[in-house]
Every structure is written in structure tokens, then in C-alpha cells.
């Protein structure tokens, strides 16, 4: 349904996006994933004390319904370790459709107007770095419903008896990493039959849907536990007009102590079936 390979010149690349931040800090780079048939990736940069990175945001108008797969390659540099904030590909829906990012971080609910999906460097410290970061109408809160930030589903709840892959989704630094995310929107909008799956370098690191896996919520984090009831499923939306209608290449490197850094993206595909890594 959409392909971005960054191979037709920066002018053409920028022309495809509705909202652009720090285009002067972006360039086409000849560093591409192994096996790539293309010649270029895009490199977004940050300069300490000057800017906090940049982004490309695209609106898809009426959007995509039902089941959507988003696959892309990303390269995180080790120079950013310990300073990651929001750095990756986000996608989701706004109702009504808008042509700029408006995440409303900290807000709960909005099941008829907002849906946001990402898989990025969430964790610092001892846990592996990668995890989901999800906003939707039934998202969980860490303070009893007053405030909601992105929900994590993978690392804190990893157990041997779960239906989720035992392969930890670790940070991969200074190497190209293939990420793929599947979302199945709930239909009808009253049903909890939505699904989510995540792959890293072709290995499934998470899959949730109506009746699987077993576990429980603790504040805004999901924990797997075979002795717990099954996962209810996702009611991603409460309004059928809320569809997957935006894409956001994001490099938000905002810690004032963070060194100047960069991120690279390549080979993004939005499709109706699983794509997988480049053969």
C-alpha cells in the first residue's frame, strides 16, 4: 500500500511528506541494509545544543482498514546509547485525519480519535532496549487513570510459559535491524478482537489477540503468566472512521546532555501481508 526506499533524490523524498522537521539535517546515505537492491537510506541528524533531531510525517487520507503490516529497517548508533527517547517509526490513526503529528502524550482514552503504534528503544538500564509503545482508547495508566503514556507489552512480562517468543528484543546498535509490526483493527468497533504482532529481524517477539497469551496488567505494563486469564484482545477503536492513516519517521533526541547523533531508515513497506527481512 506504500513503499519508501529513499532512492529517488531528496527533493522527491521530501515531496511525499506532509510535515517535515529539520530537513537541513537530513541526507541520503549510501549505507544500506545487507542485500538491499537500493542505493540509499536516509540519515537524520541531531546537533547538541542546536536541535533535537527531525522527522517526516505522512498522512494517508481515508487510510487503511482491517489488517496492516508495517516493515522497515532502522540503524541505531552506539553513540546514542543511554540517550534514546522517541526514535523509530510510529504509525496509527487520527480521527478526524490531520497532516501533522499530534500524539497528546499523557492523555488517556480517545478511543474514537487516536491510535498510535511503535516499537522502539523504550528501556534503559538492565532490560533489553526494544519494546512496544502503544496509545489506544483502552490503554492502561500508571497512576489510576489520570495519566497515560505508551504501554509496553514485552520485556517485563517475559516468562518461559508464555505464547510470546523467548528471544529477547535487545538493542541492536551500529547494525541494520529489520522491524515488522502487524495490527488487526477490531471489527465491529464494540469488539475486543484486535491483534498485534511484532518481529525483530524475522523473529516474532510478541503476539497478542483475543484469548492469548495469558497474563495480567500491572499499571501500564503487560506481564505474561500462564496461571492468569487470557488476554482480552484489543479494542483499538470505538469509531469505524479511525483507521491507519499516518506514518511518522521520528528522531527525537532531546536530552540536553546527549551528544550529537543520528539515525538511519530504509526499506519501509506498508502491506496487507507479512513481508519479512530482505532475502
DSSP string covering 193-235, please?
-BEEEEEETTEEEEEEBTTBSBEEEETTEEEE-TTSPBP--B-
Q: Which three cell numbers stand for residue 87?
A: 526514535
Backbone φ and ψ for 24, nearest 5 degrees, come out as: -70, -15
Nearest alpha carbon to residue 53 among 21, 30, 80, 84:
21
Q: Which three cell numbers stand for residue 99?
A: 497532516
- Give the residues across from 135 on adjacent strands: 116
Amino acid 123: pLDDT? 82
Cα-Cα-Cα-Cα torsion 131, 135, 136, 137, nearest 10 degrees, comes to 130
Burial of 98 (0-12, 13-18, 19+ CB in 10 A): middle
Q: 2-271: what CATH class?
A: mainly beta
Are the C-beta atoms of 71 and 93 separated by less than 8 Å?
A: no
Does 167 have pLDDT greater than 60?
Answer: no
The one-character DSSP state at 251 is E
Amino acid 170: pLDDT? 76
pTM value surpassing 0.85: yes
Between CA 237 and CA 98 the distance in angstroms is: 17
Average pLDDT, whole number, for the chain? 93
Q: Which three cell numbers stand for residue 48?
A: 547538541
pLDDT bracket for residue 157 (50, 70, 90): low
Q: What is the pLDDT of residues 65-75, one digit of tens each?
A: 999 999 999 99
Q: What is the pLDDT of residues 14-55, one digit of tens each?
A: 999 999 999 999 999 999 999 999 999 999 999 999 999 999
Does 162 have pLDDT greater than 60?
Answer: no
- Angle CA(118)–CA(99)–CA(193) in degrees, nearest 5? 45
Nearest alpha carbon to residue 39 among 75, 16, 6:
6
Amino acid 279: pLDDT? 87
Amino acid at each position: 500500500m506504500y513503499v519508501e526506499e529513499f532512492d529517488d533524490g531528496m527533493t522527491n523524498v521530501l515531496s511525499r511528506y506532509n510535515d517535515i522537521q529539520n530537513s537541513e539535517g537530513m541526507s541520503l546515505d549510501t549505507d544500506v541494509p545487507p542485500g538491499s537492491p537500493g542505493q540509499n537510506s536516509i540519515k537524520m541528524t541531531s546537533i547538541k545544543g542546536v536541535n533535537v533531531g527531525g522527522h517526516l510525517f505522512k498522512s494517508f487520507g481515508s487510510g487503511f482498514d482491517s489488517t496492516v503490516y508495517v516493515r522497515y529497517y532502522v540503524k541505531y548508533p552506539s553513540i546514542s546509547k543511554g540517550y534514546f527517547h522517541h526514535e523509530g517509526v510510529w504509525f496509527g490513526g487520527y480521527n478526524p485525519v490531520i497532516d501533522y503529528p499530534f500524539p497528546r502524550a499523557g492523555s488517556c482514552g480517545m478511543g474514537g480519535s487516536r491510535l498510535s503504534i511503535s516499537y522502539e528503544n523504550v528501556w534503559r538500564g538492565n532490560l533489553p532496549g526494544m519494546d512496544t509503545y502503544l496509545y489506544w482508547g483502552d490503554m492502561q495508566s500508571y497512576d489510576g487513570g489520570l495519566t497515560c503514556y505508551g504501554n509496553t507489552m514485552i520485556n517485563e512480562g517475559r516468562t518461559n510459559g508464555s505464547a510470546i517468543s523467548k528471544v529477547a528484543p535487545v538493542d541492536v546498535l551500529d547494525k541494520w535491524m529489520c522491524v515488522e509490526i502487524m495490527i488487526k483493527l477490531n471489527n465491529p468497533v464494540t469488539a475486543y478482537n484486535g491483534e498485534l504482532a511484532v518481529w525483530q529481524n524475522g523473529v516474532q517477539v510478541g503476539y497478542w489477540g483475543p484469548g492469548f497469551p495469558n497474563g495480567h496488567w500491572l499499571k501500564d505494563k503487560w506481564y505474561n503468566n500462564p496461571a492468569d486469564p487470557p488476554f482480552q484482545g484489543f479494542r483499538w477503536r470505538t469509531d469505524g472512521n479511525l483507521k491507519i492513516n499516518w506514518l511518522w519517521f521520528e528522531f527525537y533526541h532531546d536530552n540536553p546532555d546527549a551528544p550529537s547523533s543520528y539515525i538511519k531508515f530504509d526499506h519501509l513497506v506498508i502491506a496487507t501481508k507479512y513481508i519479512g527481512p530482505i532475502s
